[in-house]
Amino acid sequence: MSAQPSWDQYFMRMAYLAASRANCTRRKVGAVIVKGKNVLATGYNGPPSGTVHCDVVGCIRDDLNVPSGERHELCRGLHAEQNAIIQAAVHGVSIAGSSIYVTTHPCVVCSKMIMNAQIVEIVYSGGYPDDLSELMLLESNIKKRNFPLPEREIEMMLGDFSQKFGED
């Protein structure tokens, strides 16, 4: 019988499970907002509800050879953190004072949203090439922790896509 997972393992696994719903052709990202060991909202990256999925229409950023971490405005999709914050707002759930577990370090746009949403902690698994995000978060009082899951677990949750996992 395996040991019970820690809270960090539990919530990060939930973030990867959310990521498995993403239809992005470049990177699957998931986020879980938690307060007091209770899940408040989840999100994954993808286009707005009711619009065509990226894996159907293709990726503008791929077509233009846009490097990872640049030109976010060219993407059809919302990031996982944005979707989780929006879901909390839609359902009237306050996320002030919460933690966000995210499979990839937030970009600068998401970092600014996290700051204004009064989220107090970011727990992330993978890195992301965005120096401005790092600088913005250094100016905040947000606690930030890296909590990677073993690659084997990620592969089980994301399947073959995990081999492309670091490429947005």
Cite the active site residues. Answer: 81
User: How many helices (H) does the chain have, and how many strands (E)?
Assistant: 7, 5
Strand partners, 144: 122
Rounded-to-10 torsion of CA 122, 77, 20, 81: 20
- Angstrom distance (rounded) from CA 124 to CA 59: 25
Tokens coding 73: 């405005």
Burial of 112 (0-12, 13-18, 19+ CB in 10 A): middle
- Angstrom distance (rounded) from CA 119 to CA 143: 9
Residue 133 is inside which H or E element, if any? helix 131-139
